Amino acid sequence: MKKLGVGVLGVGDMGKRHAENILRFVPEARLVALADPSTERLKAVAAELEISQTFPHLEDMLEQKEVDCVLIAAPDTFHARAICATALAGKHILCEKPLATNLGDAHDALETVAQTGVHLQVGFMRRYDSGYSAAMKQIEAGEIGEPVVFKSMGRDRDAPPLAAYQSKLNGMLLYNNTIHDFDLARWLLQDEVTEVQTYASVASRPEIAQYGDLVASVVNLKYERGAIGNVESFVQANYGYDVRTEIVGSKGSILVGSLQQTPLTLLTRGGGIQVLQDHFLTRFASAYVAEVKDFIQNMLNDRAPRVSGEDGLRALELAVAAERSYLQSKPCGVARNAR
């Protein structure tokens, strides 16, 4: 059986998890190299995973013939640059969200991918979660009729340390957190958002205002076909990691997630159905595995990724419009294909 050689860029919490998943759960792939500018972190992860090929820079890893594709889990601000370098090296890419932290870099990345002919997948892993996948099947089957209202929320338990804001290595709340909900907003309704209106706060942590970031936000959405929506993000919930989504349609409603960590609830005239999940602490663990498995299978068979660079661009456009709405204190249209 042919195996694809995978190099992982960035071995923080996310990159390490991806590397572990490749080693343990993806038999069609070989974890052949790791890259990270932090020598201490790189050495520790490589020793734990028993990986001998380690590099301080992406470019060094890209020179290795055994590396067929690269999983990018570096901080947000490096994503677009890493995509371009990897594409120019002729290697396929699975990049964590966001695609970039601005539209100019995103377009440069997508243009480089198109010119080189490699495949690019963006890491919106919620599409691979059992609850969200089941919800999509119910929506496509017409169980709730025509979608009318989209509601989603994501609450992190612990606020990032102040150093995370000071470094400015990752995008602000709307780019780093809410972008998952922006992707779901498009995907689950199979429609594009045309206008957003953002309300945001730093009330519980005013010191981060100087870094241009937010503690909480609410973004209202308006869709092309007439649906409406609302997305809430919060990084200091304290009680736990809480992700919930509801799609209300003309014949019923679907809820993904709950305080009891039920991944899916379907409400129709005939009653309710719940699909239970065993462990909340591993809420998206299986989704990350499924995401990488699907990416590897598609690369082995030269198929286009399920979550494309275009999907990454559309979600980024929503984040940019949401930030503009917050800064200008007014509703803002979503500009398509603008730089």
Residue 20, domain CATH:
3.40.50.720
The secondary structure of the chain in percent helix, strand, coil, rounded to multiples of 5, reads 40, 25, 35
Q: How far apart are CA 282 and CA 135, in angstroms?
A: 19
In which domain, by residue range, is 101 found? 4-125+287-304
As for how many domains the chain has, the answer is 2
Q: How far apart are CA 15 and CA 24, in angstroms?
A: 14
Three-state DSSP string of 58-119: HHHHHCCCCCCEEEECCCHHHHHHHHHHHHHCCCEEEEECCCCCCHHHHHHHHHHHHHHCCC
Q: Specify whether 169 is located in the same domain as 261.
A: yes
**Position 310 in a domain:** no
Q: Specify whether 150 is located in the same domain as 52.
A: no
Q: Specify whether 104 is located in the same domain as 150.
A: no
Q: Specify whether 260 is located in the same domain as 170.
A: yes
**Position 223 in a domain:** yes
Q: Specify whether 198 is located in the same domain as 298.
A: no
At 276, the pLDDT band (50, 70, 90 cuts) reads very low
pLDDT of residue 238: 82
pLDDT of residue 269: 75
Question: What is the per-residue DSSP string for 166-192?
Answer: HH--S--HHHHTHHHHHHHHHHHHTS-
Closest C-alpha to 11, from 54, 59, 63: 54
**Position 180 in a domain:** yes
The residue type found at 262 is: T
Average pLDDT over residues 179-183: 97
Q: Specify whether 134 is located in the same domain as 88.
A: no
**Position 61 in a domain:** yes
Q: Specify whether 294 is located in the same domain as 269.
A: no
Q: Specify whether 116 is located in the same domain as 11.
A: yes
Question: Could you tell me the two tokens for 70?
Answer: 């690269």
Closest C-alpha to 183, from 234, 243, 242: 243
> What pTM was estimated for this model as a whole?
0.93
Q: Specify whether 179 is located in the same domain as 326.
A: yes
- Residue 1, SS3 per DSSP: coil
At 219, the pLDDT band (50, 70, 90 cuts) reads very high
